[in-house]
Amino acid sequence: MSGGPSSTSAGVPRRLADIAIARSGDKGNRATLSVIALEAADYPLLERWLTVERVAAVYRGVVQGAVTRYPLPHLAAVHFVMDAALAGGVTRSLALDAHGKTLSSAVLALPLPDAGPPGA
């Protein structure tokens, strides 16, 4: 894996939000999370870098179960399904956002890796 966060010329770290959008949804007690490249050209970076481990780390303490990843090159998107993520599901949860609809915004804060040589 690559090293520290990359920077634009202005010195601001590049974040996932700079190259992707995300949407989450609920299915029982599972949360779904789609991360979609704004430009299809950035998809290889998403697929290489947005691992199950990175996503699980973002939601540590919220998601209690396994995270499954579905890379979708045709759609330039990486889709995740997170088990035991919604405190029992929308119909039971005590949370203000019982659907987990706001979860998608958290992953977008991830700092992107340095733009190294391809495959770095």
Per CB under 8 A, the list member of 14, 23, 48, 54 interacting with other proteins is 23
Size of the site for other proteins (CB under 8 A): 31
Nearer Cβ to other proteins, position 88 or 116? 88
Phi, psi of 76 (to 5 degrees): 55, 45
Nearer Cβ to other proteins, position 97 or 120? 97
Asked if 106 is part of the footprint of other proteins (rule: CB under 8 A), the reply reads no
Please give the Cα distance from 15 to 38 (Å, whole number): 13
The token duo for 98 is: 């019982």
Please give the Cα distance from 10 to 91 (Å, whole number): 46
Give the per-residue contact string, 55-94, with other proteins (x = CB under 8 A; - = no): -------------x-x-x-xxxx-x-x------xxxxx-x
- Least Cα distance to 29 among 73, 79, 76, 92 occurs for 92
Phi, psi of 101 (to 5 degrees): -65, -30
Interacting residues toward other proteins by CB under 8 A: 17, 21, 23, 25-30, 32, 34, 36, 38, 40, 68, 70, 72, 74-77, 79, 81, 88-92, 94-96
